[in-house]
Structure 1
Amino acid sequence: MLFAAGVFCLAAIAGFLLRSEYEKEQLSEEHIVLKSDKVRKDHRILFLSDLHNHEFGENNQKLLETIDRISPELILVGGDMLVSKGSADTMVPLSLFEKLADRYPVICGNGNHENRMCWQPEVYGKQYEEYRDGLKNLGVKVLENTTELFGQDLAVTGIDLEYPYYKKFHREELTRERIEKKVGKAEREPFQILLCHSPLYFRGCRSWGADLTLSGHFHGGTIRLPVLGGVMTPQFQFFNPYCAGTFEQDGRYMIVSRGLGTHSINIRFNNKPQLVVVDLKRKT
């Protein structure tokens, strides 16, 4: 009896891991329609986040083909496109951005993995500056607590969060005042988008004036269960409601991507890598 139970458990674990390996290579798309009286024309925006050096096919060809089929007007990037854990390899994201920037306007914000290279210069030296300058040379707009206007009706701001905002316990609170001190006042007439890598600060982001906050960081909760949602974030928070999805409060929105890759916890179950497509439309 015990032997049979052990065999069953091993088979279940093996099946779970095989399913996870399969899911990590399966791209999914989520199309979200938002309407605003601030936009003068309809926009299709693609949001990418948390690639963590993953490649979908050789040289990310599968990912590129999917993006071309979506045909976005603008690509926004929410950070953590690489892995920095004692060392940082930027070849995969730079190769991807080279191809993307040749086809689309690309605006890029930072996540904790990019920012870690700034926090620990004794470990990473000038790697962040080299990576950032490499992106700029490709034509990518890199936001470091700055704002980029797109067209006549979109403003995109990227905020760099310091280490205390990513701590597992006793995190700093990101208030409107702190956001304003870092990036300045929100744009009022254009539709204001804020790239804020961690989704834990929706209150401060919407209070600051973000019409749409784009976040990632939690990888969809690693394992997703019906009704309960994401089980565990990479920061070991359990059943956090902000693991993934679209949230609205007082007419302001936050979209949290499930991301494209993994790193420390290399598991995805019922949680395929995600491309977020935002169709921003005029109110009629």
Structure 2
Amino acid sequence: MIWPGNKTLVLSRYRFDCGAENKDTLRVIHLSDLQGTSFGENNIELLKRISDVRPHLIVFSGDLVDRRMRVDTDFETVIDFMKRLREIAPTFFSYGNHELAFSVSTVDSLRVSLENSGVVVLDGKSHVEEVKFQGVVGSVLSDRGKIDDDESRSRKVKILLTGFPEKLLMVEGKNRTKRNSDVDLDAVRTLIEDLEQKRSESRCDMSILLAHEPQFIEEYAAANYDFIFSGHAHGGQIRLPFLGGLFSPGQGVLPKLTSGVHYAGDGSMIISRGLGNSSFPLRIFNRPEIVLAEIQI
């Protein structure tokens, strides 16, 4: 049971209806906590599973790397993986605590490599992505005054994507996150107020916030983003029947926010159980997860 829990991928599908009149389906792949793990040579198994669902967007909510990785050799593998992701669909990345465990120069080098691969790095920044939907209108009146069946149509939607700056949750000069009680919540709330204002001014059709650590769900919710994508908890590492995850950093024993969809305010938080491992090397009853959010928009 241990081996499948570490190397057999599972695709979790969640469906949302935003109440729009035009029922186009936006497919968003959510990844988190790869931490240098590979699924097949050059991650071919992972890439194929993602490609098969033909996503419009791919979001990665942190911990692409692990603090134990070697910068000179191991980073090349994950950069190549992200480049291949970008070939499938526009890809957006925000930092987790493991990226920020490295030196400032290393983090900056990682950012440059990702951006050179076509990945948009959202470290306290926002990006507006335009997605074009093409479909068919059953019967329409043409400019010739006749009824034409199956006339194609196109529609564009604007999506605001923002990355919450993980550094606000890190111990300065240390390669670890702060205890929840040590986090400057006033600074977090000030930033959230700024994000909410920018979201309101963007006039986009939908908004997505990438925030690595899910335990601050109430603070994130104040920004009024439609969707928050998080990871970090590794699904609680060991999943117990009827109880869920056993342990999560920042939440302790029997954490509540390790997987699935959670609601706060008017938004939805989608938590990935992640793909890899860190200091604890095993997943038990907790398969590596690809999340697919299908959003009617």
Is the TM-score greater than 0.5? yes
CA shift at 1:210, angstroms?
Answer: 1.6
CA distance in 1, matches of 2:255, 2:243: 9
* Aligned partner of residue 185 in structure 1, secondary structure: helix
* 2:161 is aligned with 1:146: no
Residues 13-92 of structure 1: matches in 2 within 5 Å?
A: 19-37=1-19, 41-85=24-68, 88=71, 89-92=74-77
Q: 1:266 aligns with which of 261, 281, 288?
A: 281
Residues 46-195 of structure 1: matches in 2 within 5 Å?
A: 46-85=29-68, 88=71, 89-117=74-102, 120-121=103-104, 126-151=105-130, 152-162=157-167, 163-164=170-171, 166-168=177-179, 170-172=181-183, 173=185, 175-181=188-194, 183=195, 185-188=197-200, 189-190=203-204, 191-195=206-210
CA shift at 1:116, angstroms?
Answer: 2.2
Tell whether the 8 Å contact from 1:115 to 1:160 is kept in structure 2 after alignment: no
CA shift at 1:37, angstroms?
Answer: 4.0
CA shift at 1:149, angstroms?
Answer: 0.8
> TM-score w.r.t. structure 1 length?
0.84
1:187-235 Cα shifts (integer Å, max 9, x gaps):
1332111100000111111111221111000100011112211001245
Q: Percent identity?
A: 28
List runs of 5+ in structure 2 lacking aligned partners: 131-156
CA distance in 2, matches of 1:103, 1:180: 34
* Aligned partner of residue 194 in structure 1, secondary structure: strand
Measured at CA, do residues 212 and 39 of structure 1 come closer, stay the same or move farther in structure 2, by a change above 3 Å?
farther
Pairwise CA RMSD of aligned residues?
A: 2.1
CA shift at 1:22, angstroms?
Answer: 2.7
* Aligned partner of residue 46 in structure 2, secondary structure: helix
Tell whether the 8 Å contact from 1:80 to 1:114 is kept in structure 2 after alignment: yes
CA distance in 1, matches of 2:180, 2:40: 37
* Aligned partner of residue 215 in structure 2, secondary structure: helix
> TM-score w.r.t. structure 2 length?
0.80
CA shift at 1:94, angstroms?
Answer: 0.4
CA shift at 1:139, angstroms?
Answer: 0.8
* Aligned partner of residue 166 in structure 2, secondary structure: coil
- Equivalenced residue count is 257
Tell me which protein shows more helix as a share of its residues.
Answer: 1
List runs of 5+ in structure 1 lacking aligned partners: 1-18
CA distance in 1, matches of 2:248, 2:216: 15
CA shift at 1:21, angstroms?
Answer: 2.5
Q: Which amino acid aligns with 1:74?
A: L
Residues 202-217 of structure 1: matches in 2 within 5 Å?
A: 202-217=217-232
Tell whether the 8 Å contact from 1:39 to 1:154 is kept in structure 2 after alignment: no
Q: Which amino acid aligns with 1:23?
A: G
Tell whether the 8 Å contact from 2:259 to 2:270 is kept in structure 1 after alignment: yes
* Aligned partner of residue 98 in structure 1, secondary structure: helix
Tell whether the 8 Å contact from 1:168 to 1:236 is kept in structure 2 after alignment: no
CA distance in 1, matches of 2:90, 2:97: 23
Tell whether the 8 Å contact from 2:224 to 2:266 is kept in structure 1 after alignment: no
CA shift at 1:106, angstroms?
Answer: 0.6
CA shift at 1:180, angstroms?
Answer: 3.4
Comparing 164-173 with 43-52, greater Cα deviation is found at: 164-173
Q: Which amino acid aligns with 1:170?
A: S
* Aligned partner of residue 129 in structure 1, secondary structure: helix
Tell me which protein shows more strand as a share of its residues.
Answer: 2
Partner of 1:8: none
CA distance in 2, matches of 1:277, 1:50: 16
Measured at CA, do residues 267 and 39 of structure 1 come closer, stay the same or move farther in structure 2, by a change above 3 Å?
farther
